[in-house]
Amino acid sequence: MTGAAMAAVMLTTGVGGSGAAGVGGQTAAGRPSVVVIGTGGTIAGTAPSRVDFQTYQPASRPARELVDELRPEIEGVARVRAVDFGAKGSGEYTIADFRQLSLMVDEHLRSADAVVVTTGTQTMEELAYWLDLTVRSQKPVVVTAAMRPWNVVGSDGPSNLYNSVVLAASRRTVCFGTVLMLNDEIFAAREATKTSTTRLDTLQAPEVGVLGVVDERRVRLQRAPARVQHCAEPDQWRTPFDLSGLGADALPRVEIMYAYADAGGEPVDAFVHTGVKGLIAAGTPTPAQMAPLIAALQSGVQVVAANRNGSGGVYETPEGVIAAEDLPPQKARLLLLLALARAENPEQIRRWFQRYGIAEFAPDTRG
């Protein structure tokens, strides 16, 4: 990282400073403006009783209702406006919906200081990584959710939303791309994954850990995602995946093939028959899977090899197959989908995986 870039990172994010900051250091212009975009999920859910922790109706409360319940507390933090993108469980959203949400986030960031997106935890990590790859603004984007519905005893929804507003309003994550906030902890979109269907500490980054925490109104950052090294160079900081001129019909279909003992190759044939442009091989393919995978590759389907184990990387691959290294299959799928929408050259796609899927702190000349 150049000295100018490092200085820009330190000034915008506070990295390298005291390691902790509240939200009280606002400018004379007043409190920062934060837009909360609701997409539904458990955080907007309603349970039939205060102790029905897993039995509830998700996406039953609009974002404005959630924000208004916290209005007395967040008024001292930021000027917050709530809008709804949708009211579904996170698993119900499509790639076309993801595209529209990215455009909506960028639209609000033209005037707001930061955006918070509330969603469900099932595909929270995928939604966050999609936004990380596609949002053009360097302003803070925070994705949050909850493991318990809004109205139960001990719900994590109110605290997660409040902490996300605190984090967004602090503007400490300028140039971080999209981050996730859950259970007081801050995660990079690329690194976070859901690990439990019920526990509040479900979000983890198995090998690298959290970026930091929010303690009341204190934002504590211990590290930053690698992309901050390009903070002073917006054209280098942004990915090539600008959706503003890319229609939903230009986003190709990419699927995941899961490897397990004695797995058959019929799903690969079926995917190819239905017109997929890319396949993610999650785990080492069986012999029965390998033959149709090679045939798919030879027919022009791009194949990416990823691990299925939650941590660790894939590095050595057959010729023509791209290694995802430690990028998990569900996120490798999104990166491949976006790459195929922009280029058909396998070498270009490979370079994009190296730069955006496997980002690291290093002089970056990989294109």
> Which are the catalytic amino acids?
42
Q: How far is CA 332 from CA 28, 69, 126, 296, 304, in A?
A: 43, 38, 10, 18, 8
Per-residue DSSP letters for 316-367?
A: ---TTPEE-BTS-HHHHHHHHHHHHHH---HHHHHHHIIIIIS--SS-----
Q: How far is CA 94 from CA 15, 225, 251, 356, in A?
A: 36, 27, 11, 22
Sign of the Cα torsion 150, 153, 155, 159 reads positive
d(CA 286, CA 264): 8
52 DSSP assignment: -
d(CA 335, CA 343): 12
Secondary structure class of 278 (helix, strand, coil): strand
**104 within 8 A of 112, measured Cβ to Cβ:** no
d(CA 277, CA 18): 48
Listed in sequence order, the DSSP H helices in 37-186 are 63-69, 71-74, 95-109, 124-134, 157-170
d(CA 277, CA 274): 10
d(CA 79, CA 74): 8
Amino acid in position 33: S
57 DSSP assignment: B
Phi–psi pair at 134, nearest 5 degrees: -115, -25
